[in-house]
Homo-oligomer: A and B are copies of this chain.
Amino acid sequence: MPAGNEEKVRCDCKIVHEEIVGRVAQKMPPEESLYDLAELFKVFGDSTRIKIIWALFEEEMCVCDIAHLLNMTHSATSHQLRVLKQARLVKPRREGKNMFYSLDDRHIEEIFNQGLSHINE
């Protein structure tokens, strides 16, 4: 994990950092996975997107449904749906002039429920 060549940290406490760091670093997922994980949670880290996802738990909705629900402009809604789509969390389906969005992942609900458990304890 200590990727860079130059040590940024220098401390004189009695703790043998090398041993601890070596042991912990070995057990951690690869750097890239952790980065991707942060990217995923970044998508969840906005209340507008949280609301959209939660709404889609109930049923597929078109852009203007969602815009009505959240009292947002079509444009803002569409921008956020793009973020969700790029994260492979929702998928679109065209029906005439309307685009219907639905959830594209079965893990989300579990993630959200665990998140709420943290909040409500």
Contacts A24-B58, A111-B115: A38 and B33 contacting too (C-beta < 8 A)? no
Q: Does the CB pair A41–B51 fall under 8 Å?
A: no
A36–B119 touching, CB < 8 Å: yes
Number of interface residues of A (CB under 8 A): 71
Q: A38-B44, A47-B38, A117-B107 are in contact. Are A21 and B62 (CB under 8 A)?
A: no
Q: Which residues 94-120 of A have a CB within 8 angstroms of B? A: 97-98, 105, 107-108, 110-112, 114-120
How many Å from the CB of A99 to the closest CB on chain B?
11
Residues of A whose CB lies within 8 Å of any CB of B are 1-4, 7-9, 11, 13, 15, 17-18, 20-21, 23-25, 27-29, 33-47, 49-51, 54-55, 57-59, 61-62, 64-65, 67-74, 88, 97-98, 105, 107-108, 110-112, 114-120
A and B contact pairs by CB, cutoff 8 A, 11 listed: A9-B74, A11-B74, A21-B68, A23-B59, A24-B69, A28-B55, A29-B116, A33-B119, A38-B45, A42-B46, A107-B115
